[in-house]
Amino acid sequence: MKVIAGLSLVPLGTPLSLSPYVAAVEDLLAERGLTFTLHATGTDIEGEWDEVMDAVKAAHQKIHDLGAPRIQTHLSLSTRTDRAQTMNDRIESVAAKRT
């Protein structure tokens, strides 16, 4: 089962700048060979369900290890059985319908 996920992870009890933590998550996703894109409110990831979810768990563990005592994550998860669809397919499909 493939998934397109939108990950927004917020560490609590840390300095106000979240970018070092977000960068640490991006590094982790890159090390795992996942396809992902950073945007202003989160990171979109596509891949096999188990690989994506293992990465989300590893991200929580890594951010706790970096000193955050508490983490609040929001994760969107899209699956479909009717056809394959990549993150790029979605963006191009919308762009083609703009007036």
Binding residues among 17-36 for its own copies as defined by CB under 8 A: 17-20, 22-23, 26-27
Short-list 2, 6, 51, CA closest to 28:
51
Q: Is 56 in the site for its own copies (CB under 8 A)?
A: yes
Rounded to whole angstroms, the Cα distance separating 2 from 25 reads 21
Q: Is 66 in the site for its own copies (CB under 8 A)?
A: no
Q: Which is nearer to its own copies, 13 or 33 (CB)?
A: 13
Q: b/e string for 55-73 if b means 16 or more Cβ within 10 A?
A: bbeebeebbeeeebeebee
Q: Is 6 in the site for its own copies (CB under 8 A)?
A: yes
In contact, 62 and 7? CB cutoff 8 Å: no
Binding residues (CB under 8 A) for its own copies: these are: 1, 4-6, 8, 10, 12-13, 16-20, 22-23, 26-27, 37-42, 44, 46, 49-50, 53, 56-57, 60-61, 64, 69-82, 87-88, 90-91, 93-99
